[in-house]
Structure 1
């Protein structure tokens, strides 16, 4: 027989198997990367929301007694998916909130005259972020 140019069926099947394996590995890596990106985005959103809440509360906590709307105690309430100050100002909405280390998980009082520990859970889907800070006028 003469030397024929071309590929055999076995060579073709081996090449297809290798290409299939490479595509499957690439797809797996891409899927894991997208999943990790989604987790990081969710975590960052929760952390940003927590920072906004703490900053608004800090501003309220540091309010001086001669300013309009001053009360010696800040009352926070959770109504559904809304976190607000009892006077009506909405601090955050669209998440699940729960006060930790308080008698009532839906209500908390912050005393402006001393150091005040603040611990709260924010939840979005299966992602949870815990705010754990202390307000102080020092």
Structure 2
């Protein structure tokens, strides 16, 4: 049952991404081109997402636990540090250059476009490398502490 729920959530998310136009790198690039052919429509997509998250979190977090898990998995840290700022900057620059973000790239894989596939493979490689780096850094810190 849990797998069916995850599938349905992904289907709703992917459908929203497709309807909003976030699978189209040109539409996203036009959103960032404020001095040229600016397309403000994605601001409404982001605004809608913020509104849903704002009210959704307040509603859902009143429950003792999620429907399909035993606990909520929320970030433990609220600290804004160099890693967070650097990651956000890299994400933003990558989104601006390619017109794709992870949320839009995954459903866009269904278009069969080679550029989307290359983006996805490089994104997956970056995630893997980042996790390897963090894991090794943690191991080194643990060894130094002992």
Bigger fraction of residues in strand: 1
- Give me the TM-score of the superposition, normalised by structure 2: 0.28
More helix by share: 2
Structure showing greater relative contact order (alpha-carbon pairs closer than 8 Å, 6 or more residues apart): 2
